[in-house]
Structure 1
Amino acid sequence: MTTLVTQLSAVPTARGRLPVLGHSLSILRNPLDFMDSLSEYGDIVRIYLGPRPAYLVTTVELIRHISLNEDLWRRDELAESIKEICLNSVNILTGKEHELRRRMIAPAFKQARLAEYAVITAEIADKWADGMRDGSDVNLMESIHSLVLETVSSTLFTGDFTEHAREQIRIDIPWLLTEVIRRGSLPARVRKSRLVANWRFARRSARLRAAIRAVVVAYRLQDADRGDVLSALIRHTDKATGATLSDDEIIDELILVMAGGVGSQASLLGWILHETMSNPVVAAKVYGELDEIVGSGPVEPQHLASLPYLRMVVRESLRMWAPWVSTRTADGPVTLGDVTLPDGAIVAYSPYMVHRNDDYYENANVHDPERWSADRVSSAEKSASLTFGIGPRRCPGNHYSVLAISLQAAAFFTRWRPVPDANFVVTPSNKDFVLSPSKLPVRLARR
């Protein structure tokens, strides 16, 4: 015990801790600046979520140790933040339950399914890009959120009878997602005291789950494969155990796909458009490649294989705007480097902070798509890539996410040469685990 106390006391505490609130206000107000400041403290730094300490690791080596040793951790903090909306989704399950659930949802993201989703995604993206007006002033983030909501809900389930559920998704998911981030950043005492916000969260969660449940029941009665995510989840039986997913388990996974899609995909697509518009050299190469391969459109899934520069732009944007935080809870004493943490200790890490560290990426704060070209990319850069996680917790929908935002970016730039508002400075907004551009005001010029 003396050794443990001595080790923990040697871990430095980040500056700016407030009574009761700890570092929660810094995290909520400006998470990127706060995260950027932490690497100077060494491999592990103590931060406070209210009165409770959390131990943030700053090196890829320790992050890989956390991610590749899943049996050492629980997901208590995340589970508490989302317990009304998701009861037992794959992102909060642990151990054998997590392994089984990953096997159960894997068929929804197999290559054959992705090919079907890609066709739907491309059609919606082309229609979205075609529907814009030449010379109009728009906030692209508003347009992007509508696009991603429609795309995600259209790949989840199909049919006229699903429209009520889709409407609830459009109404409730953005608000619920923002509230999850807020709940996760606040101390437990403060979170529990927010009676009205908590009531609204529970009410909206119940309303959304009820709308999705009606669709799940209808699918079971029809017993047909519609080529969507819900069909794959309903029809799969685990070969090793004979297990199938219950209605509540399916609802959990559908909501998880929606939350990840609507929040993260919209944010990442926004950054891809912003980074491309901000660099005339990058934009010229994107336009030239699209003109050669796609021409006047429409964009189709098979085009992506012939758009290597666009793929590098997407990958570089994913690097620069990776998730800003991820947490675990120690399941028993856990040793990280020279420090042993007690059972129940909160551990955090920031993919964003690692990706912006010059120790891992040369000129890390410069958007440089060609760092991913075959003659420049290094194995060290590949191993430091944390956008979708690594190990057992790697996002199961990562391939679809990249495919979707690549098609959407291609559809937009094939048709439009946007002119950003010179008087507006784009800043990150912390409404998701991937920070989103606050606004993207542009004037559209048809190409």
Structure 2
Amino acid sequence: MSTATFPLIERKGHWLTGCLRAFREDRLGFLAESARIAPIVGFRLGHRRVYLISHPDLIRDLLVTKHRHLARDPLVRRILEKTLGVGLLTSEGEEWKRHRRMIAPALHLQQVRGYADSMARRALALTERWHDGQQADVEQEMDGLTLSIVTAALFRVDSTTHTATVAATVPALQAIATRQFDRLLQIPDWFPTPEYRRQRALSDTLGRIVLEAIHRRRASGADGGDLLTMMVHMTDAETGARLSDEEIRAEVLTLYLAGYDTTALTLTYVWYHLARQPEIAARFHAEVDAVLGGRPPGFDDLERLPYTRMVFKEALRLYPAAYLMVRAAAEPFDIGGHRIPANSVLMTSPYAMHRHPDLWEDPERFDPDRFAENAERRWHTFKYFPFGGGPHICIGNQFALVEGPLILATIGQRYRFALMHPNQQLELEPQITLGPKGGMPLRLHRRTPAREAA
């Protein structure tokens, strides 16, 4: 725990709205600029009092040492509950502990190991549908792939009939949630606005897909060896309680949605930078060719693919899908030598920290060599934290760190990616997750692994 006093600087804004307009119009720029101003920056978003925490020691205090002083931000919780119900991202206290305790074993690294072959098979199947010279929105391609993987690996549900529905529904819900978060005045849920009705309809669509799967599993009694089976049959070792259908629905939706969109975005950014930087692409392709020789990768290959993992980690650094973490002060507490009033909003931004010039050399440059020889093990824990930290660290982080490199290695043996035109630029769109504005159009070029060609 840090006992030092850190500077706290106030950002002034409009007398009524505070910094809401600047936050809404350029959220990423506002966060990055504020992080460079001081380790603690105070400002208002409408009537809400906010503190942005931007020093590794203080972020550790916030997420680890003093997490008991924090609660879900009421606004974020309200918005997410309308889509997900009460699950890991929205529950609190003992309820959250019980759910986390029951679900965590299904996402332990040894359990994830059993999903690896399915990940590679589905990535290979995707490449077999592509053709040389094809133009594609790679974000959509990665969305479909990771959606099929998380469905098969975690729920053993055939996603083919639902992929298009889910892929269209999630971005629409994200756009609605972002607008709700940015509003100066919140509209009561009981007021039947067209936006609220659409949000409810979209959420009900996702809920029906999941509840149908739960009911089929209960009716069959079959053990699919997956998370859904575990949730249907498990009892809490401490309380003996079981999860209700609605609780399972909320957890499935939470993991289902969080488990595909975030990894798909990271993969999208990798392909974009490999298309922009041929020297990095050449080194990546050479590694997967040398290690795999044309065969699909497996879990045990990951240690032999260090550069592939470095490329994935660097994309997580520059483009953390969870670019902003928001909590609320459940009670007054001290951090960095300052008293934080109850009900204040506490924010920290992996995006801003991962691009902070005091922490990174040439922070805007995509450079996988930052992670050479597992360099992150020697860093401050909260210099690089794409999955958060403390008790609320992303429960699916091991799944993502296996899935991402396996997909890169599988696809990278058979395809390389090119920009649509030399001046193609990436524009980011921060909603609930950090996506590319307008998708990611790239050209696909078939390649043959070096040993396979020989």
- 1:394 counterpart residue number: 393
Residues 165-208 of structure 1: per-residue CA shift (max 9 Å, x gap):
65643342232233223322333436868921111111221232
Confirm whether residue 53 of structure 1 aligns to residue 49 of structure 2.
yes
Is residue 2:16 matched to residue 1:14?
no
Distance 1:336 1:435, change over 3 A: farther
Deviation (angstroms), 1:344: 1.0
Per mean C-alpha deviation after superposition, the further-off stretch among 266-275 and 193-202 is 193-202
* Residue equivalent to 1:24: 20
The aligned residue for residue 379 of structure 2 is 380
Partner of 2:257: 259
- The amino acid that maps onto 2:40 is I
Superposed CA deviations along residues 377-418 of structure 1, whole A, max 9, x for unmatched, are 562354422110111000011110121121222222111122
Q: Which amino acid aligns with 2:148?
A: E
Match of 2:442 in 1: 442
Give, in angstroms, the shift of residue 270 of structure 1.
0.9
TM-score normalized by the length of structure 2 = 0.89
- List runs of 5+ in structure 2 lacking aligned partners: 448-454
Match of 1:430 in 2: 430
Which has the larger displacement, 345-354 or 215-224? 215-224
* 5+ residue gaps, structure 1: 1-6
Give 1:4's aligned residue. Answer: none
Give me the whole-angstrom Cα distance separating, in 2, the residues matched to 1:93 and 1:375: 34
Shift of 1:336: 1.5
Q: Which residue of structure 2 aligns with residue 364 of structure 1?
A: 363
Q: Is the 8 A contact 1:277 1:418 kept in 2?
A: yes
TM-score (norm 1): 0.90
Relative to structure 1, the CA distance from residue 149 to residue 25 in structure 2 (aligned partners, 3 Å threshold; closer, same or farther) is farther
- Which of 19, 32, 37 is the equivalent residue of 1:36? 32
> What do the CA deviations read for 1:153-173 (whole angstroms, capped 9, x no partner)?
22232255x766656433422
User: In the alignment, is residue 175 of structure 1 matched against residue 172 of structure 2?
Assistant: yes
Say if 1:296 and 1:225 are closer, same or farther in 2 by CA, change over 3 A: same
* Counterpart residue identity of residue 361, structure 2: E
Secondary structure of 1:348's aligned partner: strand
Secondary structure of the residue that 1:297 maps to in structure 2? Answer: coil
1:241, 1:268 → 2: CA distance?
A: 38
Question: What residue in structure 1 maps to residue 287 of structure 2?
Answer: 289
RMSD (CA atoms)? 2.4
> C-alpha displacement at 1:349, in angstroms?
0.9
Residues 65-104 of structure 1 deviation map (CA, whole Å, 9 limit, x = unaligned): 1111221111123211112222211122222222221101
Identity of aligned residues (%): 25
Indicate yes or no: 2:77 matched with 1:79: yes
Tell me, yes or no, if the aligned pair for 2:275 and 2:417 is still in contact at 8 Å.
yes
Deviation at 1:437, TM superposition (A): 5.8
- Structure-2 change in CA distance of 1:342 and 1:191 (3 Å): same
CA distance in 1, matches of 2:53, 2:97: 25
SS across alignment from 2:43: strand
Mapped to 1, the partners of 2:319 and 2:160 lie a distance apart of 33
The alpha-carbon deviation at position 330 of structure 1 amounts to: 0.7
How far did residue 63 of structure 1 move? Answer: 1.2
Shift of 1:59: 1.1
* More deviation, 385-394/38-47: 38-47
CA contact 1:312–1:373 (8 Å) conserved in 2:
yes
Equivalent residues in 2 for 1:322-337, closer than 5 Å: 322=320, 323-337=322-336
The residue type paired with residue 414 of structure 2 is R
Query: What's the secondary structure of 1:138's corresponding residue?
Result: strand
* Preserved contact between residue 108 and residue 233 of structure 1 (Cα < 8 Å): no
- Structure 2: which amino acid aligns with 1:363? D
User: Quick one: structure 1 residues 159 and 210, their matched pair in 2 at CA, closer, same or farther if it must change by over 3 Å?
Assistant: closer
Corresponding residue number in structure 1 for 2:131? 133
Mapped partners of 2:163, 2:438: distance in 1: 25
Distance 2:249 2:398 in 1: 22
Q: What displacement does 1:244 show?
A: 1.8
Give the secondary structure class of the aligned counterpart of 2:50.
strand
Change (3 A) 1:108 1:414: same
Question: Residue 67 of structure 1 aligns to a residue in which SS?
Answer: helix
What residue number does 1:184 align with?
181
What residue is the counterpart of 1:234 in the other structure? 232
1:62 aligns with 2:58: yes
- Which SS does the other structure have where 1:442 is aligned? strand
Secondary structure, aligned partner of 1:148: helix
SS at match of 2:373: coil
Residues 310, 369 of structure 2: 8 Å contact kept:
yes
Tell me: CA distance 1:48–1:334, structure 2 relative to 1, closer, same or farther (3 Å).
Answer: same
Q: Match of 1:33, as an amino acid?
A: G
How far apart are 1:134 and its partner, in Å?
A: 0.3
The offset of 1:312, in angstroms, is: 1.0
Offset from partner CA, 1:131-165 (integer Å, 9 cap, x none): 111012222122222222222222232255x7666
In the alignment, the residues of structure 1 paired with residue 432 and residue 118 of structure 2 have an alpha-carbon distance, to the nearest angstrom, of 25
